[in-house]
Structure 1
């Protein structure tokens, strides 16, 4: 009798063990998120979208499904670009990707994993490195994935993006100043080109209308599309420049004294005096000068020749 009881106990124990082994461990929200974006199995992106979203994308047919397929192949795209990446189902790091060719690295870290019933908000931050040094440390984006259980599957229900800028960060200030200087250089280069166009037009005008000499009217150097060239519409410069304003600068002609006029003055001054741009000036000599304070009067009286 005792032997029979032992056999029954063993059978029951084995049955319970097999039943336990047959029950898969439920997938958590973080695992679902990783599967959604980085699984090599087709269809995992769509699997973790809400039913309403899936239905809408199916109605869109070609474009919708193509978009899903593009996102679902993210891991393959990363590998194709020569980057090695690793995902983590636990711990502070969600993903680490490295490209040994350019010595760059990207880390996505989990800042918050807040499980509330059938909803889990996973907040992540992004950190880029180049040669081991943090890049764009002043820009700190964070993305929150709100996962929600639907029909027993964790689905991506909401996305929230937040970004912080460290306005006092030295690297941010350095790049901001560099960008401003580059834009100033472009504006000033364009202005110098416009000055030369007007100078050339003045010389051509004086040669074509010797009875007038130089003109102090930019509109008289304009006139495209209005019949034949004349001293009132010489068709020598485009209308935008003839308006006297271009690329943030105001152009002015003056001192066309005498008949025929043998002299002229040309100035190009920033429309915004606080922009930190230089003023430019010239005359019949063709020498362009500049004033660092952005004032036309300073340029005319004490301008330095442009090198």
Structure 2
């Protein structure tokens, strides 16, 4: 009896091993279901990520306009005869190239000085000049930030006039009529 029991046990263990080895992996159907779930989650997440990226770019553009506005205030204080700067290059400059000047004031960081930052294009427009004592002085300007690709890098354009508040153009241009909160 003891001998019969041991043979029966060996057969049972061998059968159990065979069952475990055939069910140890995933079936094709299970893999397809998992891949389908991953694809669905990605389709939900990608548009959300793009929306977040555009919003982040818009906030960065507004902060960059504030930085440029502060640089303009410092520029007019440092160079009262010239008035405000009419180019980003006048606000920028390399500190290693010598002392600041009216054409290279070294007030704006490098990336912003190029006019392109975080999917937005920056510019100084509408410079108003007045002549006094045979020298021109810039008395007014408008700072603009427009998306490099409307709908992809940002949805709204932004503007700020000398000493004013930031306004937005919902179409992504420079026709800024809406106040930004």
| Shared fold, TM over 0.5 | yes
Q: Who is 1:18 aligned against?
A: 6
CA offset at residue 123 of structure 1? Answer: 5.9
For residue 228 of structure 1, give the secondary structure of its aligned residue in structure 2.
Answer: coil
Length-normalised TM-score, structure 2: 0.79
- CA-based RMSD of the aligned residues comes to 3.0
Contact 2:150 2:156 in 1 (8 A): no
Contact 1:199 1:286 in 2 (8 A): no
Q: Who is 2:104 aligned against?
A: 233
Which one has the bigger helix percentage? Answer: 2
Cα distance in 2 between the residues matched to 1:21 and 1:236: 86
- Pairing 1:97-116 to 2, within 5 Å after superposition: 112=27
1:211 maps to 2:85: no
- Pairing 1:236-251 to 2, within 5 Å after superposition: 236-251=107-122
- Structure 2: gaps spanning 5 or more residues: 130-135
1:279 maps to 2:150: no
Q: Who is 1:200 aligned against?
A: 70
Q: Name the larger-Rg structure.
A: 1
Q: 1:252 aligns with which of 123, 127, 141?
A: 123
Q: Who is 1:78 aligned against?
A: none
CA offset at residue 226 of structure 1? Answer: 1.8
Contact 2:145 2:157 in 1 (8 A): yes
- Structure 1: gaps spanning 5 or more residues: 1-12, 35-109, 113-121, 127-139, 143-161
Cα distance in 1 between the residues matched to 2:77 and 2:9: 99
Which one has the bigger strand percentage? Answer: 1
Aligned length: 171
1:187 maps to 2:57: yes
Cα distance in 2 between the residues matched to 1:256 and 1:282: 13
Length-normalised TM-score, structure 1: 0.49
Contact 2:86 2:125 in 1 (8 A): yes
CA offset at residue 166 of structure 1? Answer: 3.6
CA offset at residue 111 of structure 1? Answer: 6.6
Cα distance in 2 between the residues matched to 1:181 and 1:274: 9
